[in-house]
A and B are shown apart, each in its own frame.
Chain A
Amino acid sequence: MLAVLRLGRDAYGVPIATEIADRTGREILQGSVYATLDRLEAKGLVISELGEATPQRGGRAKRYFKLTAEGVRQVRQAQRALEALWVDLPQGAGTKA
């Protein structure tokens, strides 16, 4: 969802996978991008629409994704929850003694 949010209008399969790979340092399966986005779309957190086809894609159309208002709200909520979990965490916590 964060990758979709970062990419804005350019959020279709290829840049989403590239963005995740660049940010996390891990190559991901293109199929897993669609599996995840399908689930998010079913939950009403993203919406999608067909875009243009190019010769490089063998004439197949792109599918652009966009976060819904509920999707943005849930991303913010997840961010707040994560930040709250970091608050007051002692320095060096989780490292071996």
Chain B
Amino acid sequence: MTTRSPPRLATWLLAELSSSGRLEELIGDLSEQFAAGRSHLWYWHQASGALLLDLGQSLRTHGRSFLCAVLAGYALTSIWVFANGVVFGPLYQSLDASAHPDSLMRFLGLRAAQASTTLLVFVSAWLVMRIHRAHQRAVLVTFVAALIAPRLPGIAHLAIGVLAGTQSRSILVPEIVRTSLQATYTPLIGLWLIRRDRFAEMPRWIRFVSVMTVVITLLSALLYDLWQVGAVSYPIPARYGVDAADIGCGAYLAFLLWRRESHSLRANSVTGAAAAGSQA
């Protein structure tokens, strides 16, 4: 006898987004009823209802700390970006991709600015997840959405300008790259911070992708800074290619770490439930 498979997307959403401790049993119940003849619509209704119940429960229990975490991360980022603008603004304004006698100092200044930005991402992701520990992935995603959302109207405006021929692509693409890098690397670093196993204990593939991501990120930043101080020529197609590889690698590593976190949470929930069952 063959068993009807329940809608995969609904099951996946439930498995990834729900923080219920009875997730496996719930999906099992829904699958059993679906196999007995319930409709796709019924399954989606049950899955979305379970997620809404879960969200309501989480907001009632943890809403305040969730909001505090996102606001604290946002405030820290805003202050840091403002301070960076004050400190490194003159340096950025003086860059014109041509060689100067003080190129080395400029390059070191750019490296310092990059280090400051990297430190900001680490500190803000750590702070957000420290304040709200109950749903670390959810708070991380919300924090990133809060950082990215204000930039989207500007990007849309630039994109419309490019389509209408009133704006240059050379303004739009760096803005998209900056936003994509932030949208990728903030959750990536957050997921890296909450990982449950050490680097040496991770699967070989994740370790390989991690090393590749770090290498590409460093290479991309170095090349860009060297080009900005006029030390190397860095044609636009090569720049776009390296940026795309940087974003793609980071996004793929974030996906791998997210999935790994889901699996370990599920394993913990099953082990915890089994332990509770045996105690009962």
Q: B-contacting residues of A (Cβ < 8 Å)? A: 12-14, 17, 29-32, 34-35, 37-38, 47-50, 53-58, 60-63
Contact = CB atoms under 8 A, between A and B. Distances in A.
B277 A34 contact: no
A56 to B, nearest CB: 4
Contacts of B276: 48
Given A32-B53, A47-B280, A48-B277, A58 B26 contact: no
A72 B32 CA distance: 29
B32 A31 contact: no
B28 A30 contact: no
B277 A58 contact: no
A40 to B, nearest CB: 12
Interface string B175-208: 0000000000000000000000000000000000
A48 B280 CA distance: 7
B24 A60 contact: yes
Secondary structure call for the B interface:
helix
For the complex of A and B, 5 pairs with smallest distance between CB atoms? A31-B50, A60-B28, A13-B29, A57-B28, A56-B35
A85 B277 CA distance: 38
B27 A62 contact: no
Given A30-B33, A48-B276, 4 more contacts: A13-B29, A30-B29, A38-B21, A61-B24
Given A13-B25, A31-B46, A35-B53, A49 B36 contact: no
Contacts of B20: 31, 34-35
Contact of B27 (A37, A38, A49, A58): A58
A60 B27 contact: yes
Given A31-B53, A58-B28, A60-B28, A50 B273 contact: yes
16 contacts: A29-B49, A30-B29, A31-B51, A31-B53, A48-B277, A48-B280, A56-B32, A56-B36, A57-B31, A58-B6, A58-B27, A60-B25, A60-B27, A60-B31, A61-B28, A62-B28
A29 B53 CA distance: 9
Nearest to B24: A60
User: Which of A35, A55, A60 has the most chain B CB atoms closer than 10 A to its own CB?
Assistant: A60
Contacts of B273: 50, 63
B52 to A, nearest CB: 8
B22 interface: yes
Contacts of B6: 58
Contacts of A56: 3, 31-32, 35-36
